[in-house]
Structure 1
Amino acid sequence: MPTAPIRPERLTAQLPGEFVVFLIGMRLNQPWRVHKWWPVASAMPRMVSELARQPELGFLHAESWFGRTTLMLQYWRSLDQLLAYARNKNAEHLPAWRAFNRAVGTDGSVGIWHETYVAREGTHENVYVNMPPFGLGRAGQLLPASGGRQSASQRLGR
């Protein structure tokens, strides 16, 4: 995917209604055991591709960082849609989760983790300066962080 141009202005992002911030990743506890972590690492791009092809599933956007501990930041339209995808027997996630439990389980070679946050208006704020569209700014709509959106407390409605 081509890199978006840097936007030099001060911006904030809005996503109307309730939405979900989902953090998910893995940790290479034993990096030399490639046969253990490679299937885990290669499953996520398949899931994201599947989700991108089916916007009705509720997936909005993702950003990724790689290292010994990986992190993927995802935005979802609703918690119900995220949970439905996780349980969907015909989607990429459930077979990958079952394969992880069979191949790795609790043997300590690969750590996996996730955190889920439900956000609604007035419970989140953000600012972007000299950034390409990023994070919630890619999942939602970017607006000038001016007027009544200048400070963090204003963006939080306080």
Structure 2
Amino acid sequence: MSREVLPGRYTADIDGETVTVFLIGMRANRWWRLGRVMRIASRMPPMLRHLMTHPDAGLLGFEQWFGRTTILLSYWRSSEHLQRFAADRDAPHLEPWREFQRTFAGSGDVGVWHETYEVPAGHSETVYSDMPLFGLARATAHVPVAAGRNTARQRMGR
């Protein structure tokens, strides 16, 4: 995907009643246990490949950052889609999660976390100035800021 800078001001246009925002990550609590950290980190790429090749699973898009604490910011059609993926025996999530619970949970070596938010349409505000496609606009629709959407208050529908 191109990361070409798009000059100007843009916003995201959500098609639908809500978007589900899901943040997930891990933290290397004991960086010297690099093998364990990498074993857990290696489970995410197959999940993302699966989701990107199965659009019916409901993932709209994602951004990710790496460091001692990793963060994956993802956008979903609904929390039902997210929960269905998490519990699907044929998808590449359930078994790695069970393995983490059996093998790593409670060891203190690696922490995992997630947060889920349901955002009704009209209850989010985005602006992207001189940025490549990014975030919610990359996951939904990237549209120029136009009359009636110039301010944060207008973009929030107030």
Is TM > 0.5 for Structure 1 vs Structure 2?
A: yes
Q: Does 1:108 align with 2:104?
A: no
Question: Residue 8 of structure 1: CA displacement?
Answer: 1.0
Q: Which amino acid aligns with 1:138?
A: R
TM-score by length of 2: 0.96
Q: Which amino acid aligns with 2:37?
A: W
Q: Does 1:126 align with 2:93?
A: no
Cα distance in 2 for partners of 1:50, 1:131 equals: 28
Q: Does 1:47 align with 2:47?
A: yes
Cα distance in 1 for partners of 2:60, 2:154 equals: 25
Q: Which amino acid aligns with 2:69?
A: T
Cα distance in 1 for partners of 2:31, 2:116 equals: 27
Equivalent in the alignment of 1:57? 57
Any conservation in 2 of the 1:23–1:71 contact (CA below 8 Å)? yes
Q: Give 3-state SS (helix, strand or coil) of 1:153's partner.
A: helix
Equivalent in the alignment of 1:7? 6
Question: Residue 144 of structure 1: CA displacement?
Answer: 1.3
Map Cα deviations across residues 76-113 of structure 1 (whole Å, 9 max, x no partner). Answer: 01110100000011111001101111221111110100
Cα distance in 1 for partners of 2:14, 2:48 equals: 20
Question: Residue 156 of structure 1: CA displacement?
Answer: 0.3
Cα distance in 1 for partners of 2:14, 2:44 equals: 25
Question: Residue 127 of structure 1: CA displacement?
Answer: 0.2
How many corresponding residue pairs? 157
Cα distance in 2 for partners of 1:68, 1:49 equals: 23
Question: Residue 63 of structure 1: CA displacement?
Answer: 0.6
Q: Which amino acid aligns with 2:5?
A: I
TM-score by length of 1: 0.96
Cα distance in 2 for partners of 1:129, 1:40 equals: 35
CA RMSD of aligned residues (A): 0.9
Q: Give 3-state SS (helix, strand or coil) of 2:105's partner.
A: coil
Structure 2 segments unaligned to the other structure (5+ residues): none
Any conservation in 1 of the 2:19–2:121 contact (CA below 8 Å)? no
Map Cα deviations across residues 100-158 of structure 1 (whole Å, 9 max, x no partner). Answer: 11221111110100000111112101000010000111111111112111111100011
> Among the aligned pairs, what percent are the same residue?
46
Cα distance in 2 for partners of 1:36, 1:138 equals: 33
Question: Residue 29 of structure 1: CA displacement?
Answer: 0.2
Question: Residue 38 of structure 1: CA displacement?
Answer: 1.2
